Amino acid sequence: MPLLHWSNIFTRVLFPTDFSTYANAVFDCLPELKSAGLEQVILLSVIRESDVPLADTPVNEESFARIRWSVEEQLHMA
């Protein structure tokens, strides 16, 4: 039975992100995994449930503006 080589285990990674500082710090480490065989990173944008307005709840404009600004900043940095 052949031994597993760590360099061949992951070629694709699903990376859920909320574009927070912590998520960005982890994201910055992904290029280092290329030498371990990583070929593709699939980004999944996630938001906290508390940031999702309900249909019968008025939209919190301040929260919406903060989230929009954060996403736009991340897109400009990419």
- In this structure, the dihedral spanned by the alpha carbons of residues 76, 20, 47 and 33, taken in order and rounded to 10 degrees, is 80
How high is the pLDDT of residue 4? 52
pLDDT grade for 51, boundaries at 50, 70 and 90: low
Phi (first) and psi of residue 44, to 5 degrees: -125, 110
Q: Where are the domains of the chain?
A: 1-46, 50-78
Between residues 37 and 49, which one has the greater pLDDT?
37
- Cβ partners under 8 Å of residue 38, min gap 6: 10, 11, 12, 13, 30
For residues 58-78, average pLDDT: 76
Residue 67: CA count within 13 A, CB half-sphere: 16
Mean pLDDT (whole number) for 6-30: 81
User: pTM of the prediction?
Assistant: 0.49
